[in-house]
Amino acid sequence: MYSRITGTGSYLPEKILTNHELESMVDTSDEWIRTRTGITQRHIAREDQVASDLALYASQNAMSAAGVSSKDIDLIIVATTTPDMVFPSTACILQNKLGIENCPAFDVQAVCSGFVYALATADMFVSSGKCRNALVVGTEIYSKILDWNDRSTCVLFGDGAGAVVLSQSDQPGILSTHLHASGSYSNVLSVPGSISGGKVQGNPYINMEGGTVFKFAVKVLEEVGQEAVAENNLQTTDIDWLIPHQANIRIIQSTAKKLGIPMDKVVVAVDKHGNTSAASIPLALDIAVRDGRIHPGQLVLLEGVGGGFTWGAVLLRW
């Protein structure tokens, strides 16, 4: 028994915030943002929208593409750093919105690696025969945890959701998964605030040491990519498409160079989306599937790295 992605979907909020608009909000410039990050715009959720709202649209699109209905889904895993509330899980809230009854539903919190972690977990359920169709979602509303006076972070992130349906198959789809974490770096990229006594304790906004994040991300994305191809007796030159976490164009370019994968084989969406954390990989995947770039039989490498630090990869045959 194998697991295979049978449908993809995504959703982006209607509001677009451009670099030029940010110039009037904080001390920055379009040129500075573009040259250092590759980002030109990002999408921003409405005040009344929550992560499960974005996830709902992305999930419906993925289910439609897979040709399945609510009654066919028997597992829901949501990767998010910005849940609707402390509890219940965003996955349970999404389950109710989709009208799905009595299937396991839970969240995964691995920040920007969240979708890779969630997909790897779903693969174990599906390939072992524990479920037939898993809905795997990455959804984020980072605009709610940004300090809009901090020019080093507020220009980087955006909101959005992406989803896939992972189904049982007699043909290999997901070939291998590779997950890692190192909590010794937990203070490098974090939102250190917490809730106690009904009040926020500490800093509730993103805190990041950009230089450290950059160096670590490029290092581990190369390593985990090499790990994935080696386990399958392949070379990086065999990869048809690399879909990395969409954090920064320089990280993406450096990773591709170290792996020996040309940029015309890399799916890039960071320019239009910004960093959407756990949503970035499924968003980019859905774009590449729907515009016809990804063809049946091709090898696709998904890679993520995020706060924790967490990192991982999924190698699959489309």
Residues 69 and 165: their CA atoms lie apart, in Å, by 11
Catalytic machinery residues:
112, 245, 275
Determine the 3-state secondary structure of 197 from DSSP.
Answer: coil
Short-list 273, 288, 301, 278, CA closest to 118? 278
Contact 55, 184 (CB under 8 A): no
Contact 162, 8 (CB under 8 A): yes
Q: For the chain, how long is the longest CA-to-CA vector?
A: 55
Residues 314 and 282: their CA atoms lie apart, in Å, by 12
Residues 250 and 257: their CA atoms lie apart, in Å, by 10
Contact 76, 101 (CB under 8 A): no
Residues 265 and 26: their CA atoms lie apart, in Å, by 35
Q: Is 4 exposed, middle or buried (0-12, 13-18, 19+ CB in 10 A)?
A: buried
Short-list 103, 96, 133, 116, CA closest to 3? 133
Q: Which helix (H) or strand (E) holds 179?
A: strand 174-181
* DSSP assigned state of 75: E
Residues 257 and 248: their CA atoms lie apart, in Å, by 14
Short-list 8, 248, 250, CA closest to 138? 8
